[in-house]
Amino acid sequence: MIIQKQVIKEYLFPLIFSVVVLTFIMLMDRMFILADFLIKKGIKINIVLEIALYSLPYVLGYILPVASLIAGISTFGRLSQDNEIIALKVSGINITKIIKIPILFMIFLSIFMCFFNNFLWPESEFRIRNLLTDLARKKPQIKIREGIFFEDFSPYVIYIGYLEEKTGKMQDILIFKKEGEINPLFIFAQEGILKEEEKENYFTFLLKNGKAYHLEKDGKAREIIFETTTINIPYDDELIRRERTYRSIREMNAIQLFKNIKEVDSEIKDLKKKIKDLKKEKINEEVKLIKIKEEETKLKYKIRERERFLLEFHKKTALAFANIFFLIFGIALGLIIKKGSIGISFIFGLVYFAFYYILLLLFEEMVLRGKILAFFGIWLPTVINFPFAFYFLYKKIRE
């Protein structure tokens, strides 16, 4: 019992250390965005921290299997390196007794992560999207991008061909008002400067070398050529939290996913019945074939839609139980290489995870294209290492 407690302590340290380090690495790309929100966009620190908090479930879902692999390599690599495994065998202690403790721990953690990935993860995705949407309405400059039309400055619709964020210099600017608004209807300028008057809550568009088209009372359009003109466009600076109901597939929890799957299954059943009935109808053969082909095409895409819902569920569930498979592989690898360095463990862990992630993306794409079923597309990359890990682990136990 004392040995088992010592092993679990040895295992928990590299596990927690790996989670912390990997979480920091994974959040690095979002750190720059968050710093930009805080410094350049003037978003309050509590909102920035809220975005960081909502980013954690996605990160933890992916990095925990890698952390369990790294911890397995590090713990059992060190035990093997220091000949403690041999000492245990000489003492008549079967090493399965020390192996099963971290595996049992990981089984319980995987069950929790199954709930975490299927409920907390999608909820965080939903909330972070809503928060970023609300922030974009509060501070429209957050989402001002060149090359797109945006309508956050109602009643104006604005297009900027080129925008230099640091200086505010613009090129190829189009500004027009929505239908029903007062003049001007349309403005085009070759260049300009965008400034934000934060105290007054409006943007100043200083436009140069352009044309403005006004609609007269008689319905005729009047063209005005200008060298410079200024337009002040107000924006809402208050953060208003809006309730939204729409969720993308990534933002649906397990209950919502299966509710949609049930609805799609009902539609698939109806389409199959319709195709069967069409085949029995006594109508023109050419017309019948066209109708059947049309319904079969609908059926094909409905089946793909169902697989997309199943894909999301299986991916998050497989990532939860990948902790167990990665741990077993890590234990076997640690016993083979006989190296307990955390650095070596990280190298092996990251290389294997890169291989796993590439496989996951490859099979996921095959599912989306309708080549294979979601179940096989997600679980095959997850369990592909298990036979080899089990074989080497069994071999080491029998030595």
Please count the structural domains in the chain.
2
8 and 134 housed in the same domain: yes
Neighbours of 11 (CB within 10 A): 24
Residues β-bridged to residue 171: 162, 191
Backbone angles phi, psi at 284, to 5 degrees: -55, 130
133 and 150 inside one domain: no
The C-alpha atoms of residue 298 and residue 399 are separated, in whole angstroms, by 58
Of 181, 215, 234, the residue that ends a domain is 234
Residue 270 lies inside a defined structural domain of this protein: no
**149 and 135 housed in the same domain:** no
399 residues of the chain, pLDDT tens digit each = 677 888 888 999 999 999 999 999 888 877 777 777 677 666 778 888 888 899 999 999 999 999 999 999 999 999 989 888 888 878 878 888 889 999 999 999 999 999 999 999 999 999 998 887 777 666 555 556 777 777 767 778 888 888 887 677 888 888 887 655 455 568 889 898 887 665 556 778 889 998 887 766 666 677 888 888 888 877 665 555 667 788 989 999 999 999 999 999 999 999 999 999 988 888 888 888 888 888 998 999 999 999 999 999 999 999 999 999 999 999 999 998 988 888 999 999 999 999 999 999 999 999 988 889 999 999 999 888 888 888 888 887 777
Pair 105, 187 in one domain? no
- Let me know if residue 49 belongs to a domain: yes
- Residues 176, 76 share a domain: no
Q: Are residues 103 and 151 in the same domain?
A: no
Q: For CA atoms 286, 288, 292, 294, give the dihedral sign.
A: positive
Residues 183 and 120 in one domain: no
Angle between helices 285-337 and 386-398 (to 10 degrees): 30
What pTM was estimated for this model as a whole?
Answer: 0.76
- Residue 217 belongs to domain spanning: 144-234
Burial of 177 (0-12, 13-18, 19+ CB in 10 A): middle
Could you list the beta-strand ranges (E) of the chain: 149-153, 156-163, 169-177, 186-197, 202-215, 221-234
165 and 131 belong to one structural domain: no
Find out whether 386 and 322 touch, Cβ atoms under 8 Å: no
